[in-house]
A and B are shown apart, each in its own frame.
Chain A
Amino acid sequence: MVKQISDYDVIFVGAGPAGSWGGLTAASRGLKTLIIERGRSPGKKNVSGFGFPGMLIKRTLDSAGIDVDVSEAPIERLTNGMLFYFFDGEEATELYTKDHVYKSPWGIFMAYRDRLDAWVAQKAVERGAELKTSTCVVDVIKNEGGTVEGVITDEGEKIKAQVTVGADGVNSVVATKSGLREKWSPSVVTTAVKMDVYLGREVVDERFADSDGSVPIMQFYDIRDLWHEGLGTNAWTYAMGDSVSVATFCMISDMRFNPYEYLRNFMEYPHVKKLLRGGKPRSYMAHLIPMGQFSKIRTFGDGVLITGDAAGCPNPVHGGGYGEATITGIYAALTAVKAIEKGDTSSETLRNYNDMALKNPIIEYKDHWEYADWLYNDFKMENLHKILQSLTTMVYMPLYWQTLLSEIYTPILPKLKKAIKWLNGPYRKIVTETINRIGKEGES
Protein backbone atom coordinates (compact mmCIF):
# COMPACT_ATOMS: atom_id res chain seq x y z
CA MET A 1 0.00 0.00 0.00
CA VAL A 2 1.21 3.43 -0.89
CA LYS A 3 0.35 5.94 1.74
CA GLN A 4 -0.23 9.61 1.27
CA ILE A 5 2.32 11.04 3.65
CA SER A 6 1.86 14.73 3.28
CA ASP A 7 -0.16 17.52 1.78
CA TYR A 8 1.24 20.68 0.29
CA ASP A 9 -0.26 23.82 -1.17
CA VAL A 10 2.17 23.71 -4.05
CA ILE A 11 4.80 21.29 -5.35
CA PHE A 12 7.55 22.45 -7.67
CA VAL A 13 8.99 19.51 -9.57
CA GLY A 14 12.64 20.39 -10.18
CA ALA A 15 15.02 22.63 -8.22
CA GLY A 16 16.39 24.60 -11.17
CA PRO A 17 15.71 28.32 -11.55
CA ALA A 18 11.93 27.93 -12.07
CA GLY A 19 11.49 25.55 -9.13
CA SER A 20 13.77 27.31 -6.68
CA TRP A 21 12.84 30.94 -7.42
CA GLY A 22 9.21 29.86 -7.67
CA GLY A 23 9.47 27.86 -4.44
CA LEU A 24 11.11 30.82 -2.73
CA THR A 25 8.25 33.08 -3.86
CA ALA A 26 5.52 30.62 -2.83
CA ALA A 27 7.06 29.98 0.59
CA SER A 28 7.57 33.71 1.18
CA ARG A 29 3.84 34.19 0.55
CA GLY A 30 3.01 31.62 3.19
CA LEU A 31 2.24 28.60 0.99
CA LYS A 32 3.22 25.16 2.24
CA THR A 33 5.77 24.47 -0.46
CA LEU A 34 7.69 21.39 -1.57
CA ILE A 35 10.48 21.37 -4.15
CA ILE A 36 11.42 17.94 -5.51
CA GLU A 37 14.81 17.42 -7.16
CA ARG A 38 16.03 14.24 -8.86
CA GLY A 39 19.71 15.04 -8.36
CA ARG A 40 21.56 14.48 -5.10
CA SER A 41 21.58 18.24 -4.70
CA PRO A 42 20.18 21.04 -6.90
CA GLY A 43 22.13 21.79 -10.09
CA LYS A 44 23.91 18.43 -10.36
CA LYS A 45 21.91 17.60 -13.49
CA ASN A 46 21.98 21.06 -15.01
CA VAL A 47 24.01 22.86 -17.64
CA SER A 48 24.08 26.52 -18.58
CA GLY A 49 26.22 28.76 -20.66
CA PHE A 50 26.70 32.12 -19.07
CA GLY A 51 25.19 32.44 -15.69
CA PHE A 52 22.82 34.69 -13.97
CA PRO A 53 20.95 37.29 -16.08
CA GLY A 54 20.04 39.58 -13.19
CA MET A 55 19.04 42.39 -15.51
CA LEU A 56 16.31 40.20 -16.99
CA ILE A 57 14.76 39.11 -13.72
CA LYS A 58 15.29 41.94 -11.23
CA ARG A 59 12.06 43.71 -12.08
CA THR A 60 10.07 40.49 -11.69
CA LEU A 61 11.71 39.71 -8.35
CA ASP A 62 11.10 43.27 -7.17
CA SER A 63 7.45 43.22 -8.19
CA ALA A 64 7.01 39.89 -6.39
CA GLY A 65 8.56 41.44 -3.27
CA ILE A 66 11.50 39.04 -3.28
CA ASP A 67 14.56 40.57 -1.67
CA VAL A 68 17.64 38.43 -2.23
CA ASP A 69 21.20 39.69 -2.16
CA VAL A 70 22.70 38.10 -5.26
CA SER A 71 26.11 39.58 -4.52
CA GLU A 72 26.39 36.68 -2.04
CA ALA A 73 25.78 34.12 -4.82
CA PRO A 74 28.60 31.83 -6.00
CA ILE A 75 29.75 34.28 -8.67
CA GLU A 76 32.60 33.05 -10.87
CA ARG A 77 33.10 36.38 -12.58
CA LEU A 78 31.21 39.53 -13.41
CA THR A 79 30.84 40.26 -17.12
CA ASN A 80 31.56 43.50 -18.93
CA GLY A 81 29.92 43.09 -22.32
CA MET A 82 29.67 40.85 -25.34
CA LEU A 83 32.52 39.89 -27.61
CA PHE A 84 31.61 38.69 -31.09
CA TYR A 85 34.05 36.83 -33.29
CA PHE A 86 33.50 36.56 -37.02
CA PHE A 87 35.60 33.86 -38.59
CA ASP A 88 36.66 33.56 -42.16
CA GLY A 89 39.02 30.61 -42.21
CA GLU A 90 42.27 31.68 -40.59
CA GLU A 91 41.11 35.25 -40.30
CA ALA A 92 38.88 36.61 -37.62
CA THR A 93 37.29 39.91 -36.72
CA GLU A 94 36.43 40.75 -33.15
CA LEU A 95 33.74 43.18 -32.05
CA TYR A 96 33.60 43.99 -28.39
CA THR A 97 30.52 45.79 -27.09
CA LYS A 98 31.36 46.89 -23.59
CA ASP A 99 28.59 48.20 -21.43
CA HIS A 100 28.71 49.14 -17.76
CA VAL A 101 25.22 47.71 -17.17
CA TYR A 102 26.67 44.20 -17.30
CA LYS A 103 29.21 44.78 -14.60
CA SER A 104 27.28 44.15 -11.38
CA PRO A 105 25.68 41.14 -9.71
CA TRP A 106 22.40 42.48 -11.16
CA GLY A 107 23.93 42.68 -14.61
CA ILE A 108 25.05 39.29 -15.87
CA PHE A 109 27.46 37.19 -13.87
CA MET A 110 29.08 33.90 -14.74
CA ALA A 111 28.28 30.96 -12.50
CA TYR A 112 28.26 27.18 -12.47
CA ARG A 113 24.83 25.66 -12.10
CA ASP A 114 25.80 23.07 -9.47
CA ARG A 115 26.77 25.96 -7.17
CA LEU A 116 24.22 28.56 -8.24
CA ASP A 117 21.17 26.26 -8.18
CA ALA A 118 22.12 24.94 -4.75
CA TRP A 119 22.47 28.51 -3.51
CA VAL A 120 19.03 29.60 -4.79
CA ALA A 121 17.40 26.42 -3.47
CA GLN A 122 18.94 27.15 -0.07
CA LYS A 123 17.35 30.62 -0.17
CA ALA A 124 13.99 28.94 -0.81
CA VAL A 125 14.55 26.62 2.15
CA GLU A 126 15.44 29.61 4.35
CA ARG A 127 12.05 31.13 3.47
CA GLY A 128 10.25 27.98 4.51
CA ALA A 129 10.14 25.72 1.44
CA GLU A 130 10.88 22.02 1.88
CA LEU A 131 13.46 20.49 -0.46
CA LYS A 132 13.39 16.78 -1.24
CA THR A 133 16.42 15.61 -3.25
CA SER A 134 17.37 12.29 -4.93
CA THR A 135 13.72 11.89 -5.88
CA CYS A 136 12.54 11.54 -9.46
CA VAL A 137 8.89 12.30 -10.24
CA VAL A 138 7.64 9.68 -12.69
CA ASP A 139 3.94 10.56 -12.98
CA VAL A 140 1.22 12.93 -11.83
CA ILE A 141 -1.83 11.99 -9.74
CA LYS A 142 -5.00 12.70 -11.69
CA ASN A 143 -8.54 12.47 -10.37
CA GLU A 144 -11.46 11.16 -12.43
CA GLY A 145 -12.11 14.60 -13.85
CA GLY A 146 -8.50 14.89 -15.07
CA THR A 147 -7.45 17.41 -12.43
CA VAL A 148 -3.81 17.04 -11.40
CA GLU A 149 -3.67 16.50 -7.63
CA GLY A 150 0.03 15.90 -7.06
CA VAL A 151 2.87 13.66 -8.12
CA ILE A 152 4.09 10.08 -7.91
CA THR A 153 7.78 9.51 -7.21
CA ASP A 154 10.06 6.69 -8.34
CA GLU A 155 9.68 5.21 -4.86
CA GLY A 156 5.94 4.94 -5.51
CA GLU A 157 5.21 7.68 -3.02
CA LYS A 158 2.17 9.81 -3.79
CA ILE A 159 2.47 13.43 -2.76
CA LYS A 160 -0.61 15.60 -3.05
CA ALA A 161 -0.78 19.33 -3.63
CA GLN A 162 -3.39 21.87 -4.63
CA VAL A 163 -1.14 23.10 -7.43
CA THR A 164 1.60 21.07 -9.14
CA VAL A 165 4.22 23.08 -11.02
CA GLY A 166 6.31 21.33 -13.67
CA ALA A 167 9.76 22.91 -13.38
CA ASP A 168 11.36 19.67 -14.50
CA GLY A 169 13.17 20.81 -17.58
CA VAL A 170 13.17 20.03 -21.29
CA ASN A 171 12.21 16.36 -20.82
CA SER A 172 9.44 17.29 -18.38
CA VAL A 173 7.44 14.42 -16.91
CA VAL A 174 4.81 16.79 -15.51
CA ALA A 175 4.17 18.44 -18.90
CA THR A 176 3.67 15.20 -20.80
CA LYS A 177 1.96 13.10 -18.08
CA SER A 178 -0.53 15.87 -17.33
CA GLY A 179 -1.34 16.01 -21.04
CA LEU A 180 -0.37 19.66 -21.51
CA ARG A 181 1.95 18.85 -24.37
CA GLU A 182 3.44 16.02 -26.40
CA LYS A 183 7.15 15.35 -26.77
CA TRP A 184 8.85 18.28 -28.58
CA SER A 185 9.41 18.22 -32.31
CA PRO A 186 13.14 17.68 -33.14
CA SER A 187 13.00 20.92 -35.13
CA VAL A 188 12.62 23.02 -31.96
CA VAL A 189 15.11 21.21 -29.72
CA THR A 190 18.84 21.96 -29.72
CA THR A 191 21.49 19.66 -28.31
CA ALA A 192 24.10 21.70 -26.50
CA VAL A 193 27.43 20.19 -25.52
CA LYS A 194 29.85 21.96 -23.24
CA MET A 195 33.35 21.36 -22.00
CA ASP A 196 34.97 23.14 -19.08
CA VAL A 197 38.69 23.65 -19.65
CA TYR A 198 40.88 24.47 -16.65
CA LEU A 199 43.47 27.19 -17.20
CA GLY A 200 44.14 28.65 -13.77
CA ARG A 201 42.93 32.01 -12.51
CA GLU A 202 45.99 33.98 -13.60
CA VAL A 203 45.78 32.73 -17.17
CA VAL A 204 42.06 33.56 -17.39
CA ASP A 205 42.78 37.01 -15.95
CA GLU A 206 45.51 37.65 -18.47
CA ARG A 207 43.75 36.20 -21.49
CA PHE A 208 40.18 37.39 -21.02
CA ALA A 209 39.65 39.79 -18.13
CA ASP A 210 39.73 43.51 -17.47
CA SER A 211 41.90 44.65 -14.57
CA ASP A 212 38.87 44.28 -12.28
CA GLY A 213 38.53 40.60 -13.27
CA SER A 214 35.36 41.03 -15.35
CA VAL A 215 35.08 39.15 -18.64
CA PRO A 216 33.15 39.38 -21.90
CA ILE A 217 30.56 36.83 -23.01
CA MET A 218 31.94 35.48 -26.27
CA GLN A 219 29.87 34.40 -29.25
CA PHE A 220 31.28 33.00 -32.48
CA TYR A 221 30.12 33.19 -36.08
CA ASP A 222 31.59 31.53 -39.09
CA ILE A 223 30.87 33.87 -41.96
CA ARG A 224 31.51 31.13 -44.53
CA ASP A 225 28.41 29.34 -43.28
CA LEU A 226 30.41 26.31 -42.23
CA TRP A 227 28.18 25.54 -39.28
CA HIS A 228 26.55 22.73 -41.12
CA GLU A 229 29.90 21.39 -42.24
CA GLY A 230 30.84 20.41 -38.73
CA LEU A 231 30.52 23.41 -36.48
CA GLY A 232 26.97 23.22 -35.22
CA THR A 233 24.69 26.20 -35.51
CA ASN A 234 26.04 28.35 -32.77
CA ALA A 235 29.11 28.47 -30.52
CA TRP A 236 29.95 30.33 -27.36
CA THR A 237 32.87 30.63 -24.97
CA TYR A 238 32.51 31.55 -21.34
CA ALA A 239 35.43 32.68 -19.19
CA MET A 240 34.87 31.44 -15.65
CA GLY A 241 36.89 31.90 -12.44
CA ASP A 242 39.84 29.66 -13.28
CA SER A 243 38.63 28.03 -16.49
CA VAL A 244 36.97 28.55 -19.84
CA SER A 245 33.83 26.74 -20.89
CA VAL A 246 33.21 26.13 -24.59
CA ALA A 247 29.84 25.13 -25.98
CA THR A 248 28.32 24.34 -29.36
CA PHE A 249 24.68 23.92 -30.29
CA CYS A 250 22.83 22.12 -33.06
CA MET A 251 19.13 21.73 -33.72
CA ILE A 252 18.32 18.01 -33.55
CA SER A 253 16.51 18.03 -36.88
CA ASP A 254 19.59 19.61 -38.54
CA MET A 255 22.18 17.37 -36.93
CA ARG A 256 24.74 15.96 -39.35
CA PHE A 257 27.53 15.14 -36.94
CA ASN A 258 27.69 13.86 -33.42
CA PRO A 259 27.28 16.86 -31.07
CA TYR A 260 30.77 16.20 -29.69
CA GLU A 261 32.21 16.46 -33.21
CA TYR A 262 30.82 19.99 -33.48
CA LEU A 263 32.48 20.87 -30.19
CA ARG A 264 35.78 19.26 -31.11
CA ASN A 265 35.87 20.99 -34.49
CA PHE A 266 35.11 24.29 -32.82
CA MET A 267 37.92 23.76 -30.32
CA GLU A 268 40.30 23.05 -33.22
CA TYR A 269 39.58 26.42 -34.84
CA PRO A 270 42.89 28.35 -34.79
CA HIS A 271 41.44 31.29 -32.91
CA VAL A 272 39.63 29.16 -30.33
CA LYS A 273 42.63 26.91 -29.94
CA LYS A 274 44.66 29.98 -29.05
CA LEU A 275 42.14 30.97 -26.37
CA LEU A 276 42.28 27.47 -24.86
CA ARG A 277 46.06 27.02 -25.16
CA GLY A 278 47.54 24.96 -22.33
CA GLY A 279 44.12 24.14 -20.89
CA LYS A 280 43.08 20.85 -19.34
CA PRO A 281 39.49 19.62 -19.90
CA ARG A 282 37.84 18.87 -16.55
CA SER A 283 34.20 18.19 -17.43
CA TYR A 284 31.99 17.38 -20.38
CA MET A 285 28.23 17.64 -20.57
CA ALA A 286 25.23 17.57 -22.88
CA HIS A 287 21.81 19.10 -22.44
CA LEU A 288 18.81 19.89 -24.61
CA ILE A 289 17.25 23.32 -25.11
CA PRO A 290 13.67 23.68 -26.39
CA MET A 291 13.57 26.95 -28.31
CA GLY A 292 10.80 29.51 -28.00
CA GLN A 293 7.71 27.34 -27.56
CA PHE A 294 5.94 28.99 -24.62
CA SER A 295 3.32 30.84 -26.66
CA LYS A 296 2.72 27.78 -28.86
CA ILE A 297 1.73 25.26 -26.19
CA ARG A 298 -0.75 24.93 -23.33
CA THR A 299 1.02 25.88 -20.12
CA PHE A 300 -1.83 25.47 -17.62
CA GLY A 301 -4.43 22.87 -16.73
CA ASP A 302 -6.60 21.91 -13.79
CA GLY A 303 -4.24 21.95 -10.81
CA VAL A 304 -1.10 22.16 -12.93
CA LEU A 305 1.28 24.70 -14.49
CA ILE A 306 4.47 24.21 -16.47
CA THR A 307 7.42 26.61 -16.41
CA GLY A 308 10.94 27.19 -17.73
CA ASP A 309 12.35 24.63 -20.14
CA ALA A 310 9.39 22.32 -19.41
CA ALA A 311 7.27 24.98 -21.12
CA GLY A 312 9.78 25.64 -23.90
CA CYS A 313 10.74 29.04 -22.53
CA PRO A 314 14.28 29.57 -23.89
CA ASN A 315 14.69 32.50 -26.23
CA PRO A 316 14.66 31.29 -29.86
CA VAL A 317 17.47 33.61 -30.95
CA HIS A 318 20.18 32.79 -28.43
CA GLY A 319 18.79 29.88 -26.38
CA GLY A 320 19.08 31.65 -23.03
CA GLY A 321 16.59 30.23 -20.57
CA TYR A 322 17.66 30.95 -16.99
CA GLY A 323 15.88 34.30 -16.80
CA GLU A 324 12.83 32.97 -18.59
CA ALA A 325 12.63 30.02 -16.21
CA THR A 326 12.99 32.29 -13.18
CA ILE A 327 10.26 34.64 -14.36
CA THR A 328 7.80 31.85 -15.17
CA GLY A 329 8.59 30.09 -11.87
CA ILE A 330 7.76 33.27 -9.96
CA TYR A 331 4.59 33.85 -11.99
CA ALA A 332 3.53 30.25 -11.32
CA ALA A 333 4.02 30.83 -7.58
CA LEU A 334 2.06 34.10 -7.62
CA THR A 335 -0.73 32.44 -9.60
CA ALA A 336 -0.85 29.53 -7.14
CA VAL A 337 -1.06 31.98 -4.21
CA LYS A 338 -4.09 33.72 -5.76
CA ALA A 339 -5.78 30.48 -6.80
CA ILE A 340 -5.40 28.96 -3.32
CA GLU A 341 -6.68 32.17 -1.66
CA LYS A 342 -9.67 32.00 -3.97
CA GLY A 343 -10.14 28.29 -3.33
CA ASP A 344 -10.18 27.56 -7.04
CA THR A 345 -7.20 25.89 -8.72
CA SER A 346 -9.01 25.01 -11.93
CA SER A 347 -7.53 25.90 -15.30
CA GLU A 348 -9.87 28.90 -15.48
CA THR A 349 -8.02 30.51 -12.57
CA LEU A 350 -4.56 29.16 -13.44
CA ARG A 351 -4.91 30.64 -16.92
CA ASN A 352 -3.82 33.88 -15.28
CA TYR A 353 -0.26 32.48 -15.25
CA ASN A 354 -0.17 32.25 -19.02
CA ASP A 355 -1.64 35.75 -19.39
CA MET A 356 0.96 37.22 -17.01
CA ALA A 357 3.83 35.53 -18.81
CA LEU A 358 2.71 36.62 -22.26
CA LYS A 359 2.55 40.23 -21.09
CA ASN A 360 6.25 40.07 -20.21
CA PRO A 361 8.42 40.97 -23.22
CA ILE A 362 11.07 38.48 -22.08
CA ILE A 363 8.65 35.58 -22.40
CA GLU A 364 6.36 36.77 -25.20
CA TYR A 365 8.67 36.29 -28.11
CA LYS A 366 6.48 36.18 -31.16
CA ASP A 367 8.72 38.86 -32.61
CA HIS A 368 11.87 37.12 -31.41
CA TRP A 369 10.73 34.07 -33.38
CA GLU A 370 10.22 36.15 -36.50
CA TYR A 371 13.72 37.45 -36.00
CA ALA A 372 15.07 33.93 -35.40
CA ASP A 373 13.37 32.62 -38.55
CA TRP A 374 14.78 35.50 -40.50
CA LEU A 375 18.23 35.08 -38.97
CA TYR A 376 18.55 31.32 -39.41
CA ASN A 377 16.37 30.58 -42.44
CA ASP A 378 15.74 33.51 -44.76
CA PHE A 379 19.17 35.00 -44.52
CA LYS A 380 21.51 32.26 -45.69
CA MET A 381 23.13 34.08 -48.57
CA GLU A 382 26.49 35.63 -49.30
CA ASN A 383 29.21 36.62 -46.88
CA LEU A 384 28.08 40.20 -46.65
CA HIS A 385 24.72 39.07 -45.43
CA LYS A 386 26.33 36.73 -42.96
CA ILE A 387 28.20 39.63 -41.47
CA LEU A 388 25.05 41.70 -41.44
CA GLN A 389 23.07 39.07 -39.61
CA SER A 390 25.84 38.80 -37.06
CA LEU A 391 25.89 42.54 -36.63
CA THR A 392 22.14 42.72 -36.18
CA THR A 393 22.35 40.06 -33.48
CA MET A 394 24.97 42.19 -31.87
CA VAL A 395 22.51 45.06 -31.74
CA TYR A 396 19.70 42.76 -30.75
CA MET A 397 21.40 41.22 -27.74
CA PRO A 398 22.05 44.41 -25.75
CA LEU A 399 18.55 45.62 -26.65
CA TYR A 400 17.17 42.34 -25.44
CA TRP A 401 19.02 42.50 -22.15
CA GLN A 402 18.07 46.06 -21.63
CA THR A 403 14.45 45.95 -22.68
CA LEU A 404 13.60 46.34 -19.03
CA LEU A 405 16.16 48.98 -18.31
CA SER A 406 14.23 51.95 -19.60
CA GLU A 407 16.16 54.31 -17.36
CA ILE A 408 19.24 53.65 -19.45
CA TYR A 409 17.57 53.72 -22.82
CA THR A 410 15.19 56.63 -22.34
CA PRO A 411 17.91 59.28 -22.87
CA ILE A 412 18.96 57.73 -26.18
CA LEU A 413 15.45 57.13 -27.53
CA PRO A 414 15.70 59.85 -30.17
CA LYS A 415 18.88 58.27 -31.54
CA LEU A 416 17.29 54.84 -31.59
CA LYS A 417 14.26 56.22 -33.41
CA LYS A 418 16.53 57.65 -36.08
CA ALA A 419 18.34 54.32 -36.42
CA ILE A 420 15.13 52.48 -37.26
CA LYS A 421 15.29 53.64 -40.86
CA TRP A 422 18.39 51.52 -41.35
CA LEU A 423 16.59 48.38 -40.28
CA ASN A 424 14.32 46.08 -42.19
CA GLY A 425 11.70 43.40 -41.67
CA PRO A 426 10.99 41.78 -38.34
CA TYR A 427 14.08 43.29 -36.79
CA ARG A 428 12.69 46.76 -37.45
CA LYS A 429 9.50 45.60 -35.77
CA ILE A 430 11.33 44.34 -32.69
CA VAL A 431 13.30 47.55 -32.29
CA THR A 432 10.21 49.70 -32.95
CA GLU A 433 8.24 47.82 -30.34
CA THR A 434 11.09 47.91 -27.89
CA ILE A 435 11.27 51.67 -28.30
CA ASN A 436 7.52 52.02 -27.90
CA ARG A 437 7.64 49.90 -24.78
CA ILE A 438 10.48 51.90 -23.28
CA GLY A 439 8.68 55.09 -24.23
CA LYS A 440 5.53 53.97 -22.44
CA GLU A 441 7.41 52.87 -19.36
CA GLY A 442 9.31 56.15 -19.34
CA GLU A 443 6.01 58.06 -19.20
CA SER A 444 4.37 55.96 -16.51
Chain B
Amino acid sequence: MKFEAEELREMIRNLIEMIPNSRKNIRVNIELCSGCERCYEFCPAGCFKIVNGKSVWQFPDFCLECGTCNYICPEDAISWSYPKGGEGIIYRYG
Protein backbone atom coordinates (compact mmCIF):
# COMPACT_ATOMS: atom_id res chain seq x y z
CA MET B 1 0.00 0.00 0.00
CA LYS B 2 1.39 3.35 -1.01
CA PHE B 3 0.98 6.09 1.52
CA GLU B 4 -0.98 9.12 0.32
CA ALA B 5 0.58 12.27 1.71
CA GLU B 6 -2.14 14.42 0.22
CA GLU B 7 -4.87 12.67 2.23
CA LEU B 8 -2.82 13.13 5.36
CA ARG B 9 -2.40 16.86 4.75
CA GLU B 10 -6.13 17.14 4.08
CA MET B 11 -6.81 15.42 7.42
CA ILE B 12 -4.52 17.70 9.42
CA ARG B 13 -5.34 20.95 7.63
CA ASN B 14 -8.11 21.80 10.12
CA LEU B 15 -6.42 20.32 13.17
CA ILE B 16 -3.23 22.33 13.42
CA GLU B 17 -2.45 25.95 14.06
CA MET B 18 0.81 27.37 12.82
CA ILE B 19 2.81 30.49 12.04
CA PRO B 20 4.30 29.97 8.54
CA ASN B 21 8.07 29.43 8.52
CA SER B 22 9.97 32.42 7.18
CA ARG B 23 12.97 30.30 6.20
CA LYS B 24 13.57 26.84 4.82
CA ASN B 25 14.74 25.07 7.96
CA ILE B 26 14.68 21.61 6.37
CA ARG B 27 16.55 20.90 3.15
CA VAL B 28 17.22 17.81 1.09
CA ASN B 29 20.70 17.59 -0.40
CA ILE B 30 19.94 16.50 -3.98
CA GLU B 31 23.47 15.14 -4.41
CA LEU B 32 23.01 12.71 -1.52
CA CYS B 33 19.30 11.87 -2.03
CA SER B 34 18.91 8.37 -3.52
CA GLY B 35 15.18 8.79 -4.17
CA CYS B 36 14.23 6.00 -1.74
CA GLU B 37 11.11 8.01 -0.77
CA ARG B 38 11.39 7.10 2.93
CA CYS B 39 10.98 10.72 4.03
CA TYR B 40 7.89 10.99 1.84
CA GLU B 41 6.42 7.75 3.19
CA PHE B 42 7.14 8.29 6.87
CA CYS B 43 6.78 12.03 7.48
CA PRO B 44 3.78 12.11 9.88
CA ALA B 45 2.61 15.37 8.28
CA GLY B 46 3.13 14.53 4.60
CA CYS B 47 5.56 17.41 4.01
CA PHE B 48 7.64 15.79 1.28
CA LYS B 49 7.09 15.34 -2.42
CA ILE B 50 9.11 13.28 -4.89
CA VAL B 51 10.07 15.32 -7.95
CA ASN B 52 12.07 13.68 -10.75
CA GLY B 53 13.15 10.88 -8.43
CA LYS B 54 14.41 13.20 -5.71
CA SER B 55 12.78 14.29 -2.48
CA VAL B 56 11.69 17.89 -1.90
CA TRP B 57 10.44 19.42 1.40
CA GLN B 58 7.46 20.81 -0.43
CA PHE B 59 4.89 21.57 2.26
CA PRO B 60 6.67 23.35 5.13
CA ASP B 61 3.43 24.77 6.52
CA PHE B 62 2.37 21.33 7.70
CA CYS B 63 5.67 20.52 9.44
CA LEU B 64 5.20 19.30 13.03
CA GLU B 65 8.93 19.80 13.79
CA CYS B 66 9.23 16.19 15.03
CA GLY B 67 12.48 15.23 13.26
CA THR B 68 11.38 11.84 11.88
CA CYS B 69 12.77 12.72 8.41
CA ASN B 70 16.14 13.56 9.95
CA TYR B 71 16.44 10.04 11.43
CA ILE B 72 14.78 8.01 8.70
CA CYS B 73 16.96 9.13 5.77
CA PRO B 74 19.47 6.34 5.07
CA GLU B 75 21.74 8.72 3.11
CA ASP B 76 21.73 11.41 5.81
CA ALA B 77 20.72 13.78 3.01
CA ILE B 78 18.39 15.92 5.12
CA SER B 79 19.78 18.98 6.86
CA TRP B 80 17.40 19.63 9.69
CA SER B 81 16.83 22.48 12.09
CA TYR B 82 14.00 24.06 14.03
CA PRO B 83 12.12 26.99 12.53
CA LYS B 84 12.87 30.48 13.79
CA GLY B 85 11.77 31.15 17.37
CA GLY B 86 8.03 31.88 17.58
CA GLU B 87 7.32 30.41 14.15
CA GLY B 88 6.01 27.03 13.11
CA ILE B 89 3.60 24.72 14.88
CA ILE B 90 1.54 25.86 17.87
CA TYR B 91 0.30 22.76 19.63
CA ARG B 92 -2.90 22.76 21.59
CA TYR B 93 -3.85 19.78 23.74
CA GLY B 94 -0.26 18.44 23.45
Binding site for B on A (CB under 8 A): 38-40, 43-48, 112-114, 133-136, 138, 153-155, 170-171, 173, 183-184, 186, 189, 191, 193-196, 240, 243, 245, 252, 255, 257-261, 281-288
Contacts and interface: CB of A to CB of B under 8 A. Distances in A.
Interface in B1-51: 3, 8, 11-12, 15-16, 19, 41-45
Interface string B73-94: 0000000111111101111111
B53 interface: no
B44 A259 contact: yes
Contacts of A138: 81
B51 to A, nearest CB: 19
Nearest to B73: A186
Contacts of B85: 38-39, 133-136, 153-155
A10 to B, nearest CB: 20
Contacts of A258: 3, 8, 41-44
B14 to A, nearest CB: 9
A281 B90 contact: no
A114 B81 contact: no
A201 B45 CA distance: 29
B80 A171 contact: yes
16 contacts: A44-B91, A114-B92, A136-B84, A170-B67, A245-B93, A252-B72, A259-B42, A260-B11, A282-B15, A282-B92, A282-B93, A285-B64, A285-B89, A285-B94, A286-B66, A287-B66
A155 to B, nearest CB: 8
B86 A189 contact: no
A138 B25 CA distance: 11
B61 interface: no
B58 interface: no
A284 B45 CA distance: 9
A171 B91 contact: no
A245 B94 CA distance: 9
Contact of B44 (A171, A191, A282): A191
A189 B41 contact: no
B70 A171 contact: yes
A38 B90 CA distance: 11
Contacts of B59: none
Contacts of A261: 3
A15 to B, nearest CB: 12
Contacts of B81: 138, 173
B67 to A, nearest CB: 5
Interface residues of B, number: 34
Nearest to B81: A138
Contact of B66 (A136, A154, A196, A288): A288
Contact of A136 (B41, B83, B93): B83
Contacts of A186: 71-72
A46 B90 contact: no
Contacts of A283: 15-16, 91-94
A373 to B, nearest CB: 20
Given A154-B84, A284-B12, A284-B16, A252 B68 contact: yes
A284 B91 CA distance: 8
Given A283-B92, A284-B15, A288-B67, A260 B44 contact: yes
Nearest to B23: A154
Nearest to A264: B11
B31 to A, nearest CB: 19
A38 to B, nearest CB: 5
Contact of A45 (B3, B71, B89): B89
Contacts of B3: 257-258, 261
A39 B92 contact: no
A171 B94 contact: no
Contacts of A257: 3
Return the 7 tightest CB-CB contacts between A and B, nearest first. A134-B86, A136-B85, A286-B44, A196-B93, A286-B66, A259-B44, A135-B85
B91 A45 contact: yes
B71 A112 contact: no
Contacts of A46: 91, 94
Given A258-B8, A282-B15, 8 more contacts: A45-B89, A134-B85, A183-B71, A191-B42, A195-B15, A255-B72, A282-B93, A283-B92
A191 B67 CA distance: 9
Contacts of B41: 258
Contacts of B16: 283-285
Contacts of B67: 170-171, 288
